[in-house]
Chain A
């Protein structure tokens, strides 16, 4: 019989190895899945992992997809460290997009430098506003933030759907549920001409550095980590639990809001009924895959961005359903959680007594 034996200390080596093992296992199961679907394995592998990043445009797209994942992932990982489970980042992203778009449409055809910064500010506030509801309910009324933040995601999606088919609809748009196209002053500058790579990619790198500094170099970061690892020790040290809940949620909301704006003012360029392919949910996987560490999140974000691109490419070249991406992402998280056991336990053979 195989049994688990607790290690005296968590294994550092396994901390680094586990995500790699999980990734390899996901790859193998993915190939198995392709085989089951009757798809030639090597072509599928090529379409999923090689083709999307074999051109400059493809690499730029990787940055476009990774930017929101990394921005949200870093903020979520800080919250998860403190055991604050904000899983409504998707809703906060939508609110950020709505708020930013509202500014863009209000200043429609105003070609001033201040439009874009104002949009960014609005999106941060929009995301924070949405995240402040679970924070308030958690700190004031002891309501589980998992359920409230998730419920608000559904509300946000419906709000967006109503706005683009009503108040924010393009007046000359033949009743299609979409807003006007943003004018140039409301669009994000591109980093590379001929591609869709925008300054969001640089912001994502900045967020990684800022997240790392916050977690490892500041008292607030220390308080967040202590609160997650040993809440009672944190309480004895005088760290206010409520304050940390607020910080974690507002941080998550703000970052998700900006990510939402980067979608509507970046690759999309207008407000649509659907502005994100589930970035807010995928960012949860990104946070865990990145070991709740900002630098890890950066790499994890790139891996997950590749899974989006791979899914699209496999859909085009092999006619595979887009849902394969979701299956891949779910499997990766499962394998990661499973291999995490190796950090705290070693596998031994049970002696019969």
Chain B
């Protein structure tokens, strides 16, 4: 029983980690007042570039960096169109996803069916030998530890640093921020690139650890779930972590349903994460006041200094 429980928790962690990365990145982007709906596309770009690098170099570290850069490149495209050329953020984000699906499929054409041994787990000396706790807490790969550090760092940055205050003020009122002499466009560029890097790492995790191989459209809507997680978290990093683990738990239910003796067709079990996303969105969004108090006030609005 203990073994099964530990295994379950480990798979939840694996399922939640890509969501944590993608969602924490998008959270920062949205706090800066930008709505990037292209998370799915950036994740796929990260996943395929990461896997290709891992396949050709054999280095997990290089693969993660490649995934990060791929996500940033996609984000740069989005930032240039929306921030420099004033295009609609909603439309551009959708375009980024459609483009990412196609481009990643094209790049990954020759990579389908190849396996990768996965990232090595970093066993922390002494601690990882502890019974139960060692396996649960101290023997993961570097990206799992990184995800917790990242969430803490983002929470600290947003709430405790001057730069974080600047970023939030740009997201809450770009006109006021501009009047104060803050570089609205520059801040938004940086935030968007950060979001792209995070989504790219999230994608890397999918192709390097979660599966670990490349398959067309393998993110299967996780980019969109990450967007929903930001709403679920009402733009607070701590709640986001909670949400990602909740979703991780639900998405692996289908793997364990059979073992638990639940005899439901696999397709219906696979619907759970998507249906849960909708239900959770309903629970959070119905409280209009709460959304209004927490959502960045100028989210999705274009900014041009002359208007």
Residue B278 at the chain A interface, CB threshold 8 Å: yes
Residue B85 at the chain A interface, CB threshold 8 Å: yes
Could you tell me if A147 and B228 are in contact, using CB atoms closer than 8 angstroms? yes
Contact bitstring A157-174, B, C-beta under 8 A = 1, else 0: 011011001100000000
Identity of the chain B residue whose Cβ is nearest the Cβ of A5 in the assembled complex: B306
Could you tell me if B103 and A155 are in contact, using CB atoms closer than 8 angstroms? no
B-binding segment of A191-199, A202-210, A319-327: A319-327
8 Å CB contact of A324 from B90, B106, B274: B106
Could you tell me if B101 and A144 are in contact, using CB atoms closer than 8 angstroms? no
Identity of the chain A residue whose Cβ is nearest the Cβ of B264 in the assembled complex: A162
Could you tell me if B106 and A327 are in contact, using CB atoms closer than 8 angstroms? yes
Contact bitstring A300-344, B, C-beta under 8 A = 1, else 0: 000000000000000000000101111111110110011011001
Given A137-B278, A144-B281, A324-B106, answer yes or no on A337-B88 (Cβ-Cβ < 8 Å): yes
Residue B151 at the chain A interface, CB threshold 8 Å: no
Residue A6 at the chain B interface, CB threshold 8 Å: yes
Residue B58 at the chain A interface, CB threshold 8 Å: no
Given A85-B90, A341-B86, answer yes or no on A151-B221 (Cβ-Cβ < 8 Å): yes
Residue B277 at the chain A interface, CB threshold 8 Å: yes
Residues of B within 8 A of A35 (CB): none
Query: Size band of the A side of the interface?
Result: 35 or more
Smallest distance from the beta carbon of B194 to chain A beta carbons, Å? 21
8 Å CB contact of B274 from A140, A151, A344: A151
Residues of B within 8 A of A338 (CB): 81, 85, 87
CA distance A166 to B67 in the complex (A): 39
CA distance A344 to B306 in the complex (A): 13
Residues of A within 8 A of B105 (CB): 321, 323, 326
8 Å CB contact of B285 from A141, A166, A325, A344: A141
Residues of B within 8 A of A327 (CB): 99, 102-103, 106
Could you tell me if B281 and A148 are in contact, using CB atoms closer than 8 angstroms? yes
A-binding segment of B125-133, B135-143, B172-180, B265-273: B265-273
Could you tell me if B285 and A143 are in contact, using CB atoms closer than 8 angstroms? yes
Could you tell me if A159 and B271 are in contact, using CB atoms closer than 8 angstroms? yes
Could you tell me if A344 and B220 are in contact, using CB atoms closer than 8 angstroms? no
Identity of the chain A residue whose Cβ is nearest the Cβ of B284 in the assembled complex: A143
Given A142-B286, A330-B99, answer yes or no on A158-B221 (Cβ-Cβ < 8 Å): no
Could you tell me if A285 and B98 are in contact, using CB atoms closer than 8 angstroms? yes
Residue B297 at the chain A interface, CB threshold 8 Å: no
Residue A281 at the chain B interface, CB threshold 8 Å: yes
Residue A345 at the chain B interface, CB threshold 8 Å: yes
Could you tell me if B224 and A334 are in contact, using CB atoms closer than 8 angstroms? no
Smallest distance from the beta carbon of A168 to chain B beta carbons, Å? 13
Could you tell me if A141 and B282 are in contact, using CB atoms closer than 8 angstroms? yes
8 Å CB contact of B95 from A6, A133, A141, A330: A330
Residues of A within 8 A of B98 (CB): 281-282, 284-285, 326, 329-330, 333
Residue A105 at the chain B interface, CB threshold 8 Å: no
Among B102, B285, B307, max chain A CB count under 10 A is at: B102
Could you tell me if A321 and B282 are in contact, using CB atoms closer than 8 angstroms? no
Residue A150 at the chain B interface, CB threshold 8 Å: yes
Among A143, A152, A338, max chain B CB count under 10 A is at: A143
Q: Is the interface of A mostly helix, strand, loop or mixed?
A: helix
CA distance A140 to B278 in the complex (A): 14
Residues of B within 8 A of A323 (CB): 102-103, 105-106, 109, 216
Could you tell me if B102 and A4 are in contact, using CB atoms closer than 8 angstroms? no
List residues 1-49 of chain B with CB under 8 A from any CB of chain A.
37
Identity of the chain B residue whose Cβ is nearest the Cβ of A281 in the assembled complex: B98
Residue A42 at the chain B interface, CB threshold 8 Å: no
CA distance A331 to B92 in the complex (A): 11
Could you tell me if B285 and A158 are in contact, using CB atoms closer than 8 angstroms? no
Among B85, B221, B278, max chain A CB count under 10 A is at: B278
Contact bitstring A339-353, B, C-beta under 8 A = 1, else 0: 011001100000000
CA distance A282 to B249 in the complex (A): 33
Residues of B within 8 A of A152 (CB): 274, 278
Residue B227 at the chain A interface, CB threshold 8 Å: yes
Residues of B within 8 A of A330 (CB): 95-96, 98-103
Could you tell me if A142 and B102 are in contact, using CB atoms closer than 8 angstroms? no
Residues of A within 8 A of B268 (CB): 158, 162
Could you tell me if B91 and A148 are in contact, using CB atoms closer than 8 angstroms? no
CA distance A45 to B277 in the complex (A): 43
CA distance A166 to B267 in the complex (A): 11
Identity of the chain A residue whose Cβ is nearest the Cβ of B40 in the assembled complex: A150
Smallest distance from the beta carbon of B221 to chain A beta carbons, Å? 5
Smallest distance from the beta carbon of A102 to chain B beta carbons, Å? 17
Residue A119 at the chain B interface, CB threshold 8 Å: no
Identity of the chain A residue whose Cβ is nearest the Cβ of B84 in the assembled complex: A4
Could you tell me if A147 and B87 are in contact, using CB atoms closer than 8 angstroms? no
Could you tell me if B99 and A333 are in contact, using CB atoms closer than 8 angstroms? yes
CA distance A146 to B224 in the complex (A): 9
Given A4-B304, A281-B98, 18 more A-B residue pairs with CB atoms under 8 Å apart are: A6-B307, A142-B285, A143-B286, A147-B227, A147-B277, A152-B278, A158-B267, A162-B265, A162-B267, A166-B265, A321-B105, A323-B106, A326-B98, A326-B106, A327-B99, A334-B77, A334-B99, A337-B87
Give 11 A-B contacts (CB < 8 Å), ordered by A residue: A137-B281, A141-B285, A143-B285, A144-B285, A146-B90, A154-B271, A323-B105, A326-B98, A326-B101, A330-B103, A331-B99
Name A's B-contacting residues (CB within 8 A): 4-6, 85, 87, 133, 137, 140-144, 146-148, 150-152, 154-155, 158-159, 161-162, 165-166, 281-282, 284-285, 288, 321, 323-331, 333-334, 337-338, 340-341, 344-345
